Structure 1
Amino acid sequence: MRTTFDFSPLYRSGIGFERMLNALETASRVEAPDNWPPYDIAKTSDDHYRITMAVAGFSEAELDITQEQNLLMVSGQKSGNDNGQYLHRGIAGRGFERRFELADHVKVTGAGLDNGLLTIDLKREIPEEMKPRRIEIVAGTTAHRVESKRVKADKQAA
């Protein structure tokens, strides 16, 4: 038995957590497993990744790669009709759409198709202002203190 969670009460009281709640809601949805086309995800270095998909029979013109914020969509649609008479058809030629959730600041840097394998290169580029920075401690100085000044009100006799 599968229990679905209702995150709507959290939307009313949480500000700025919409993306996290959407990710939880998406993860809780049950989708039929689709294992075609097969793919590999490899980490090639600290901030570089590569997705390799087996898309035999598809040309560059029949494939489409789109990145929207933190979502990478790869789709393929065969063009034209094959009117051949088959005794056995084992090579899948159906259209597909595969979605990959990307972490923050992951961008597609390139894609290529070679021998039926589509490779998509990804790189995580953290903006300079979000990278950890070292704060230097200077010896012999004291922290600046904020002093409050009292204002004296002059009372004048009328």
Structure 2
Amino acid sequence: MARLVENARAAADGPSYPPYNIEKTGEDSYVLTMAVAGFGPDDIEVTAHDNTLTVAGKAAPAAPQDNGRVLYRGIAGRAFERRFVLADHIVIEGAQLEHGLLHVALKRQVPEALKPRRIEIQAPKSQRVLESEAPQAQAA
């Protein structure tokens, strides 16, 4: 996940469309939120390949003349493609488009074999015998 955040910082000087946030929502869960006003679910494609998440938006079809009603067009409708390099063991849980915001749920799932595990330290048998005899010696 650190790579994802670092790439976001590095890209801050580059193209910034569409803008996005990355939020940590739990110990191992994150949400990538992109502002994609003017795009519908059919206009956006979210794909994951290896450790790369790609979000692409098709250009909205040219709107018919609005008979001069639109005085200023500030909502961009141009095509875009944003790539995010994901850290190891990050999986995409799903995507949801709501109120012009695309939310992509991410989760870190480290396989059990790669998780650290606690190893119990065994005492030698000779020490175990001495420990068990100690209470009897104090009672005498």
Structure 2 length as normaliser, TM-score? 0.74
* Residue 58 of structure 1: aligned partner: 39
Tell me if structure 1 keeps the 8 A contact 2:31–2:106: yes
CA distance in 1, matches of 2:71, 2:77: 16
Aligned to 2:49: 68
Work out the CA distance in 1 between the residues paired with 2:125 and 2:55: 57
Q: Is the 8 A contact 2:95 2:102 kept in 1?
A: yes
> How many corresponding residue pairs?
115
- Does residue 104 of structure 1 match 2:72? no
Corresponding position of 1:154: none
2:100 paired with 1:119: no
d(CA) in 2 for partners of 1:79, 1:56: 11
How many Å separate the matches in 2 of 1:134 and 1:141? 21
Q: Contact conserved, 2:60 with 2:79, CA < 8 A, in 1?
A: no
RMSD over aligned CA atoms reads 2.4
Question: What whole-Å deviation, never above 9, does each CA across 1:10-29 have from its counterpart, x for those lacking one?
Answer: xxxxxxxxxxxxxxxx9xxx
Point out where structure 1 has 5 or more consecutive residues left out of the alignment. Answer: 1-25, 143-158
Runs of 4+ in 1 over 4 A off after TM superposition: none
Deviations 1:24-65 (A, max 9, x none): xx9xxx9x7111111000011110000111100100000000
Q: Where does the alignment leave 5 or more consecutive residues of structure 2 unmatched?
A: 1-6, 127-140
1:147 maps to: none
TM-score using structure 1 length: 0.66
User: More helix per residue: 1 or 2?
Assistant: 2
